[in-house]
Structure 1
Amino acid sequence: MRKISNVFYITIGLIILAVGYGVIDPEHFEKITSAGKSFVATSFGWYYLLLMTLLVGISIYLIFSPYGKIRLGKDTDRPQFSTITWIAMLFSAGMGIGLVFYGAAEPLSHFAVDTASAEPGSNEAFKEAMRETFLHYGIHIWALYGIVALSLAYFQFRKGEPGLISATLKPIFGDKMKGPWGTLIDVLAVFATAFGVATSLGFGAVQINAGLNYLFGFSIGVRSQFIIIAVVTVLFILSAWSGLSKGIRYLSNTNLVLALALLGFILILGPTLLIFNIFTDSVGGYISHFIDLSLSTSPLDADNRNWLDAWTIFYWAWWISWAPFVSMFIARVSKGRTIREFMIGVLLAPSVFAFIWFSAFGTTAIDIQMTGVADLASANTEIVIFQLFHELPWSGIMSGLAILLITSFFITSADSATFVLGMQSTYGSLTPPNSVKVIWGLIQSTIAIILLSVGGLGALQNFIIIAALPFSFIILFMVYALFKELNTEENIPHPRLAKRKKHKNDE
C-alpha cells in the first residue's frame, strides 16, 4: 500500500462525512445544499458565463497558434489509440448516460414546459429549444474539458510530471504543490470525481429501471435499482481489472456502435426530412446567436434569469465539477497527439455528434408532441425516450438498444472513473494497482446505493455544484501555468522570446 497517497485517505474520510450527513438528515442536507447551489448560481452566474466563453476563445487560439504543432509527449511519440477509438473514448467519458437520458427530454422540456423566453409550444420555442440544447452540450463544455485535459497531458507527457491536477500548477507555485496545498487541490478533484460519477450511477440506475419496467414490467423502486447497480458494479470492476487498452477501449467502441445504430433508427423511422432541416437551421441559429447565448445574464428579466440559473448556469457548474474526471481521462488517452489535432478533435467531434443526436431525438419528440400523437411532455424524464419509441415502428428493438447503450455507458463511466481515481490516489501513476481501482469502484457504487435509498441524489448533485466554484479558480491557474510553460518551448515563434534573444544578441 506504499503507492497510495494521503489523497486517498483524506478523500475517503470526507466521503464518509458527506454521505453520513445525507443519511442521518437527508432533508436538512437537501435544504442546505439547495440554498448553497442557489447562492452560487445567483452570485457567480456572470463569472461562469465569462469563464466558459474565455475557455472557448483560448481553445480556438491554440488551434491556430504556433503552439498547435507541439506534441503531447516527446517529438517522436505517436498516438496510442486510433482516431476512431480515441473519439469513441471522448464520446463515452464526456457524455455517457446524459445523451440517452436527456436526448429527447431536454429539447422537449425547453419547447413545451420550461421555455427560455418564447411562448411554450410555439414555432419560436421549437427553434429556441434546439439552440439552448446545443449550447448546453456543445463547444463550451468541450473547450472546458479540452483545456484542462491539455494542461494535464502537456505536463504529464511532455514535462514528465505526475498526472495530478496539482502538478500542473508547479510553474506558478513551485514545490508548494508537493505539500499540503497540492494535496488539498488533488483531494478536491478526487472528491468531485467520486461524487459526480456516483450521482450519474444513481440516475443511470433509475433510467435502466424505468426502461425494464416499460419493456418487461419490472418493478420500479430502490430494491430494483440496487440490483442494477450491483450487476453493473461487477461488470465495470471486471473491465477495470482488464486495463485501459482492453476494457475501456472495447466498451468505448461498443458505445459508439450502439449509439450510431440507435441514431440510425431514429433518422430513418422518425420525421427524417424535418430532422435534417431542424439540424441545419439549429446549427445556423447556434452560430448566429453564439455570443448572445454565451454571455446573456438577463439582468432585467427575472423570469429569464431564473431560467438561466436553473439550466445554463447549472450546466456550467455541473460540467466544471466533472472536469477533473473527464479531463484526466481524456489526457491519459491522448499521448502523442499534437495540440492542434487534440483541440480540433476534442472541440468538434463530440459537439457535432451531440448536435446530430439532439436534433434527431429532440425533433422526433417535439414533432410527436405538436401533432398530438402523444403527450410526451408530461412523462417523467427517465421514461420520455421509451414513450417516444412506443410511437414509432420497431419500438421494442429501439428500447432494447437504448437499455444496452445506457448500461454500456454506465459501465464505461464507472470504469473510467475508477482508473482516474486510482491515478489521483497513487501519486499520478499511469498504471494504478487493480486493488485500488476495485476499492474506488465499490466506493462509487456504495455512495449511489446509499443516497438512492434515502433520496439524497439531488442534494449530492447540489453539493458537487457548490464544489465546482473553487475548482473553477484552479482552472484559471492551470491556464496561466500552461501558457507560462508553453512560452519556454524551443522553435516556437513567440514575440517575447524573440525580443529576449534579440536583446542578448545585441549585448
Structure 2
Amino acid sequence: MQTLKTNRSGIGVVFFVSVALTALVVLWGAVAPKNFGAVTNRLLGYVVSDLSWFFLLAANVFLVFVIYLALSRYGRIKLGKKNDRPDFGRLSWFAMMFQAGMGPSIIFWGLAEPLSHYVNVPFGLAEPGSDEAAGVAVQYSFFHWALHPWAIYATVGLAVAYFTHRKGEKALVSAIFRPLLGDRVDGPVGKTIDILAVLAVVFGIAVALGQAGLQLTAGLGQTFGLPTVMLVHLVVLGLTTAAFMVSATTRIEHGIKWLANISMLIAPLLLVFYFVVGPTVTQLNVLTEGLGDYLSNIVPMSFRLDAFDPNTDWLGSWTVFYWSWWIAWAPYVGMFMARISRGRSIREFVGATVLGPSVVSIIWIAVFGGAALRLARDGQASAIAETVAQSPAAGMFVFIQQYPLPILLSIITLVVLWVFFVASADSGTVVLGELSTGGSPNPKVWVRVLWGLLLAGVAAVLLVSGGLGALQKASVLTGTPFAILLIGICVSLYKTLSGEHVPPAVEPSCSRATESEGGEPGDSDSEGSDSGNRRIEREEHSDERVHLP
C-alpha cells in the first residue's frame, strides 16, 4: 500500500528530505567546522577501530558474489526482456561506465598512491624507500583500484539492472528489497532506504569531485603559475558547474556519451605517450611483477588487519576509507551502470564492470606509478614524493615536468581531468534525479539542474570552510549503513534469481545460435537446434516470470 504520496513528477518525501538533510549537513560544516570535524572524527575513530573487520569481510563477499553469478548458470540471464537489445555499442558502454566509476580519481591517485605507500609502507612490510617498499606500494595500489571496488559497484548495478529491465520495477534501491520486504518498500521503510541511497550518492560524488577540483587548480598553478587560492578554486568550480549543467540538459546519448567517448580517446593517448617516453622496461616489469604480487597476495591483503596490533591510522586512511567510499559511491555508479546496460547478459555485465575496468586501472597505475617510483628510486625527482606528501593533487603535474613537452602534456592532462569531472558530475545528476523522484527514467531537467547546483554548493562551501577532509570522513560514515543494505541486496537478488528458469547452454555442435550485440551462443535467449527450438521457446515464454517460494 502506498503510504507516502508523490505528485506526477515523482517529487515527494524522498526528494524533500534528502535535499533538506544535505543542506543541513553542509550548513553544519560551514557554520561550525570545528564541531563538525570533532564529531566526525569521533565517529570515524569508532568505525575504523571497531568495524574495519566488517568492511573487509563485506568487500570480499561482494567480489565472490558477482564472480559466482557470472560463472554460474545465472550468467546467461539477460538484463532485460527476451527481445531487448543494448542501447549502446560496447566501446561507448564501457567508456561511460569507467568514467562514472573511476574517472577523475584514478588520475588523482594513480601516481600519488604508489608514492605515498613508498614512503609510508602499509603495515610496515618493508623499509621505507627500499626496493621492497616499491613492490609493496604497487601491490597495494592494485589492490585498492582493481576487482574489489568494481565488484561493489557491480553488485548494485546488477541488482538494479535485473529488477528494472527484467522485472519491470522502478529504478530505486528500495525496489530491490521487494522479495524480502514485500509492499513495505512502498512505505516508510522503502523511503528510508532511498533517502540513505541519495545521501550516499551525494557524499560519495562530493569526495571525488572535490579531489578533481583541487587537482584542476593545482594543475593550473603548476602549468600557468596561477595562485592556488580560494578564488581560483571557486572560479574553476563555477566553470565546471556551468559545463555539466549544459550537459545535464541533454540526453545521455548526446551529453554523457559524447564526453565519455572524448575521454576514452585522449586518456589512452596520454597513457601510450608516457609508456613510450618513460622507463618502458621498468613499467613492464612493474606491471608483470605487481600483477603477480597482487594476485598471489589478494587473499591475505583482503583480510589483513594486524588483529593484535591494528594500524588503525593506515587502515582508516586507505583500505577502510576506500572500501567505504566505494560503497557510498555504489548507488550512483551502480544505478548509472544499470541504466545503460539493458539487453546485456549477467556474464557480460560482470566482465565489463569488474574485469575490464580492473585491467585498465592496473595498466594506468603501472605506467604512471611505475615511472614515478623509478624517478624516486633514481633520486632524480625527490620533489615528486615531497609534493605528493604535501599536496597529492599537484603530484601528477610535478611528474609531467620531468618529461618532454611539459606544457602541452599538462594542458592535455587538464582537459582529460576536466572532461572526466564534467561527465561524472553529469552522471551524478541523472542518478540523483532518478533516486529522488521515484525512479523516473528521465528526471525533469530542472531536477537534474537543482542537484547539480547542490553538488556544486556542497563542494564550494566545503572548500571555503576547509571541510574536504571532513567530507571524506562523512563519506566513510555514510558508507557504513549502506554496506548493510548491500548485503541485503545480495540476498534479495539471489533469492529472485534462484526462482528463474534458466535453459541449459546449447552445445555448439547442435546449435544454430545467432550472436547479437546483446548476447552470445548459450545465452538464455539463444535458439537451439531444430529439435529443441520449440521446447526451449515454450519454456522461455512460460517461465519468464519469477517463481518465489
Q: 1:489 to 1:115 in 2, by over 3 A?
A: closer
Q: Distance in 2 between matches of 1:296 and 1:491?
A: 38
Answer whether contact 2:77 2:502 (CA < 8 A) is retained. Answer: no
**Alignment match, 1:437:** 448
Structure 2 unaligned blocks of 5 or more: 1-6, 505-542, 544-549
Q: Deviations over 1:184-242 (max 9, x none)?
A: 11001111212222232222221111111111111211111111111111110111111
| 1:101 matched to 2:108 | yes
Which of these residues, 370, 374, 377, is aligned with residue 381 of structure 2? 374
**Alignment match, 1:460:** 471
Q: Deviations over 1:374-396 (max 9, x none)?
A: 21111021111111110111212
Code of the aligned partner of 1:106: E
**Alignment match, 1:349:** 356
Code of the aligned partner of 2:156: V
User: Which residues of 2 match residues 143-154 of structure 1 at below 5 A?
Assistant: 143-154=151-162
**Alignment match, 1:469:** 480
**Alignment match, 2:58:** 51
Q: 1:74 to 1:198 in 2, by over 3 A?
A: same
Code of the aligned partner of 2:489: M
Does 1 or 2 have the higher relative contact order (CA < 8 Å, sep 6+)? 1
Task: State the aligned residue count.
Answer: 493
**Alignment match, 1:2:** 8
Answer whether contact 1:149 1:327 (CA < 8 A) is retained. Answer: yes
Code of the aligned partner of 1:189: A
SS at match of 2:380: coil
Code of the aligned partner of 1:362: G
**Alignment match, 1:496:** none
Answer whether contact 1:113 1:377 (CA < 8 A) is retained. Answer: no
Shift of 1:116: 3.5
**Alignment match, 2:499:** 488
**Alignment match, 1:424:** 435
**Alignment match, 1:162:** 170
Structure 1 unaligned blocks of 5 or more: 494-500, 502-507
Code of the aligned partner of 1:393: P
**Alignment match, 2:213:** 205
Which of these residues, 304, 318, 321, is aligned with residue 314 of structure 1? 321
Q: Distance in 1 between matches of 2:206 and 2:502?
A: 45
| 1:225 matched to 2:233 | yes
Q: RMSD in angstroms over aligned alpha carbons?
A: 1.3
Q: Distance in 2 between matches of 1:5 and 1:153?
A: 24
Shift of 1:340: 0.6
User: Which residues of 2 match residues 72-87 of structure 1 at below 5 A?
Assistant: 72-87=79-94
Q: Distance in 2 between matches of 1:31 and 1:243?
A: 42
**Alignment match, 1:326:** 333
Q: Distance in 2 between matches of 1:434 and 1:306?
A: 43
Shift of 1:114: 4.4
Q: Distance in 1 between matches of 2:310 and 2:158?
A: 38
Answer whether contact 2:76 2:502 (CA < 8 A) is retained. Answer: no
Which of these residues, 27, 30, 40, is aligned with residue 33 of structure 1? 40
Q: Distance in 2 between matches of 1:115 and 1:487?
A: 41
Q: Deviations over 1:55-83 (max 9, x none)?
A: 11111111111101100000211111111
SS at match of 1:119: coil
**Alignment match, 1:504:** none
Per the normalisation by structure 2, the TM-score is 0.88
Q: Deviations over 1:113-164 (max 9, x none)?
A: 3443211111111111111000100100111111111000000000000000
Q: Distance in 1 between matches of 2:313 and 2:25?
A: 28
Which of these residues, 397, 412, 422, is aligned with residue 411 of structure 1? 422
**Alignment match, 1:497:** none
**Alignment match, 1:192:** 200
Which of these residues, 171, 176, 182, is aligned with residue 190 of structure 2? 182
SS at match of 1:116: helix
Q: Distance in 2 between matches of 1:116 and 1:247?
A: 44
| 1:390 matched to 2:401 | yes
Q: Distance in 2 between matches of 1:5 and 1:353?
A: 40
Deviates more, 1:92-101 or 1:115-124: 115-124
Q: Distance in 1 between matches of 2:442 and 2:34?
A: 41
Q: Distance in 1 between matches of 2:8 and 2:242?
A: 26
Q: Distance in 2 between matches of 1:306 and 1:453?
A: 26
Q: Distance in 2 between matches of 1:133 and 1:116?
A: 14
Code of the aligned partner of 1:481: S
| 1:243 matched to 2:251 | yes
SS at match of 1:354: helix
Q: Distance in 2 between matches of 1:297 and 1:65?
A: 31
**Alignment match, 2:523:** none
Q: Distance in 2 between matches of 1:294 and 1:460?
A: 26
**Alignment match, 1:478:** 489
Q: 1:2 to 1:491 in 2, by over 3 A?
A: closer
Shift of 1:2: 3.5
Which of these residues, 71, 95, 98, is aligned with residue 78 of structure 2? 71
Q: Deviations over 1:327-356 (max 9, x none)?
A: 111111111000011111111111000000
Q: Distance in 2 between matches of 1:290 and 1:148?
A: 23
Which of these residues, 250, 254, 257, is aligned with residue 262 of structure 2? 254
Code of the aligned partner of 1:34: N
Which of these residues, 270, 289, 294, is aligned with residue 281 of structure 1? 289
Q: Distance in 1 between matches of 2:130 and 2:339?
A: 45
| 1:363 matched to 2:370 | yes
Q: Distance in 2 between matches of 1:115 and 1:147?
A: 28
Q: Distance in 2 between matches of 1:386 and 1:135?
A: 24
Code of the aligned partner of 1:204: A
Identity %: 39
Code of the aligned partner of 1:293: M
Q: Distance in 1 between matches of 2:118 and 2:428?
A: 34
Answer whether contact 2:200 2:482 (CA < 8 A) is retained. Answer: no
**Alignment match, 2:511:** none
Answer whether contact 1:67 1:492 (CA < 8 A) is retained. Answer: no
SS at match of 1:164: coil
Q: Deviations over 1:83-104 (max 9, x none)?
A: 1111101110000211111111
Q: Distance in 2 between matches of 1:206 and 1:55?
A: 31
Answer whether contact 1:116 1:128 (CA < 8 A) is retained. Answer: no
